[in-house]
Amino acid sequence: MRLDLERTPAGRSEQPVTGKFALDFDADNPTTVDVSGDLVVDNLEGRCVVRGDLAATCNVPCGRCLQDFSLQFEVPVELVVLRDSGEETEDSETLVLHQRTGEIDLTEAVREATVLAVPQSRFCRDQCQGLCAQCGANLNETKCDCVDDDVDPRWDNLPDLE
């Protein structure tokens, strides 16, 4: 994933991006994320603006039932390459690189954007029932006969208040 500043035409062009990144959701078993798509490159005088939404896919365990599933999400990428080192930008959400000529490796910038775009809650489906808290059965696949007797004794006198 390289952007050649000397060969990028002036104006707007597209930069195809594909890559794999190892993310450590689980320290013992790192997850590989596949990222692909096109970034729009605006080669302007003194700066090069790179932006776009990439598609990412990885296999992760569900946060409720622990079954692996394929997670798909978008990765928004936005970065600016300043060729005039005297310029500064005030936009704190945009990654700014300072380089006058040559090639820029976009790998770390895309990897960082991917890490930030991974959803915090990862569920195999919205209606996932998860695991039984007592026997550990996957409630999506089977119904268990466990009785939910987890009642807080502080609430025992509540019916008497009527």
DSSP H or E segment with residue 72: strand 68-82
- Per-residue confidence in pLDDT tens, the chain, 162 aa: 777 777 777 888 888 889 898 887 667 778 899 999 999 988 887 788 889 999 999 999 999 999 999 999 999 999 888 876 555 555 556 667 665 567 788 888 898 999 999 999 999 999 999 999 888 899 999 988 888 766 778 888 888 887
Predicted local confidence at residue 139, as pLDDT: 92
Predicted local confidence at residue 84, as pLDDT: 63
3-state secondary structure of 61: strand
Predicted local confidence at residue 2, as pLDDT: 78
Burial of 47 (0-12, 13-18, 19+ CB in 10 A): middle
Predicted local confidence at residue 55, as pLDDT: 96
Predicted local confidence at residue 91, as pLDDT: 53
Residue 24 burial (CB count, 10 A): 10
CB 17 within 8 A of CB 54: yes
Measured between alpha carbons, how far is 40 from 112 in angstroms, rounded to an integer? 18
Q: What is the dihedral of CA 91, 94, 97, 103, to 10 degrees?
A: -140
Predicted local confidence at residue 155, as pLDDT: 83
Q: Where are the domains of the chain?
A: 2-128
